[in-house]
């Protein structure tokens, strides 16, 4: 089913290139593990199990990690009403609506396809945003589902997750494995080295895709709702409020930054912005300002105009 969200050919091309490069990296990684571990059965079983779990249960894993739960219409009628309206406007299946009992204002979408998608918002977000701002945020998240970049990020991050698990396993095996011969130690060292290299490369590829997909989601949401200034106001408000939350309270959430509406950073990331999952706030507001000008929208009070 094709939704009415504006298609983005550049996003589609970037997703294809990222998956192709990660596929090559994946084949090389598996081949290296088989050569080192001398057991293709063990490697295939581990890889298949991790990929299957991440693909089929990504929505449940994300909700569990962020203390989210599916909510019925009678619990959150206004929230369901906004999602109903946006799904109808976009001509796409309505996703499961979930709420996370977190003070951090944020939202995310997850799921392997539009028919098995979840859109989750935190109670902190619901308390802070006006209806038009909430609509903009939810349109942003629904566009991730419609463009299928949620599924691509989920699958793409699989290789990094697997490599990270292997590095951790090999590291603790060296620490607590007792006496080992030189051959075993050499094998563990090679596994750690290959896995670390794969993790670094997949990390960079995913971050580059993630930054562009956030701009694509902002653009699609602004065009669907016709109110880019409301989305800009929500971005400004949420980013400012997150910056005031103690960093120690954000550490758990930071593992899921690639899925969030805006990253869970307690302050400006500095040089780490080059490895960030999201473009800067200035880039996002500048794009929304240009769209607002193109649509002839009057800038809402408190929302930035064209930068």
Enter the tokens of residue 280: 């800067």
CA 21 to CA 208: how far, in whole Å? 13
140 is in an annotated binding site: yes
3-class DSSP assignment, residue 106: coil
Cβ neighbours of residue 139 closer than 8 Å, sequence gap 6 or more: 86, 90, 220, 221, 224, 225, 231
Q: Using CA atoms, how far apart are residues 62 and 66, in angstroms rounded to an integer? A: 6
Helices vs. strands in the chain: H and E counts, helices first:
10, 4
The sign of the CA dihedral 218, 223, 225, 229 is positive
As given in the structure block, the two tokens for residue 163 are 């490599």
Catalytic residue, candidates 133, 135, 141, 297: 141
Torsions phi, psi for 100 (to 5 deg): -110, 130
Report residue 297 as tokens: 């929208």
Is the distance from CB of 122 to CB of 107 less than 8 angstroms?
yes
Active site annotation includes 103: no
117-122/96-100 β-pairing: parallel
Q: Quote the distance between the C-alpha of residue 124 and its chain's center.
A: 19
Q: Consult the annotation and say whether 214 binds a ligand.
A: yes
75 assigned binding-site residue: no
Distance CA 147, CA 213 (A): 9
Annotated binding residues for Zn(2+), written as ranges, equal 140, 144, 214
**Residues annotated in a binding site:** 140, 144, 214
- Could you list the active site residues? 141
């Amino acid at each position: 089913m094709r939704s009415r969200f504006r298609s983005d050919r550049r996003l589609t091309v970037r997703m294809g290139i990222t998956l192709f490069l990660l596929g090559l990296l994946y084949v090389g990684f598996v081949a290296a593990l088989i050569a080192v571990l001398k057991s293709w059965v063990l490697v295939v079983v581990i890889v298949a199990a991790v990929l299957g779990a991440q693909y089929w249960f990504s929505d449940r894993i994300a909700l569990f990690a962020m203390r989210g739960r599916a909510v019925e219409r009678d619990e959150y009628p206004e929230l369901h009403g906004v999602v109903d309206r946006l799904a109808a406007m976009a001509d796409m299946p309505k996703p499961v609506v979930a709420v996370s009992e977190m003070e951090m204002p944020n939202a995310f979408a997850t799921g392997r396809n539009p028919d098995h998608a979840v859109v989750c918002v935190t109670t902190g977000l619901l308390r802070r945003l006006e209806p038009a701002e909430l609509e903009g945020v939810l349109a942003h998240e629904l566009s991730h589902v419609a463009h299928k970049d949620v599924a691509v990020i989920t699958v793409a991050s699989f290789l990094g997750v697997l490599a990270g698990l292997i590095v951790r396993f090999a590291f603790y095996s060296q620490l607590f494995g007792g006496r080992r011969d030189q051959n075993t130690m050499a094998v563990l060292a090679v596994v750690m080295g290959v896995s670390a290299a794969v993790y670094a490369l997949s990390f960079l590829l995913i971050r580059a895709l993630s930054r562009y997909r956030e701009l694509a989601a902002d653009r699609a949401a602004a065009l669907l709702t016709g109110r880019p200034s409301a989305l800009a106001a929500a971005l400004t408000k949420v980013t400012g409020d997150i910056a005031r939350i103690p960093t120690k309270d954000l550490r758990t959430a930071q593992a899921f930054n690639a899925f969030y509406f805006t990253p869970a950073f307690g302050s400006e990331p500095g040089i780490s912005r080059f490895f960030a999952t999201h473009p800067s706030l200035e880039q996002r507001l500048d794009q929304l300002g240009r769209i607002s000008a193109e649509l002839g929208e009057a800038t809402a009070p408190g929302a930035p105009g064209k930068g």
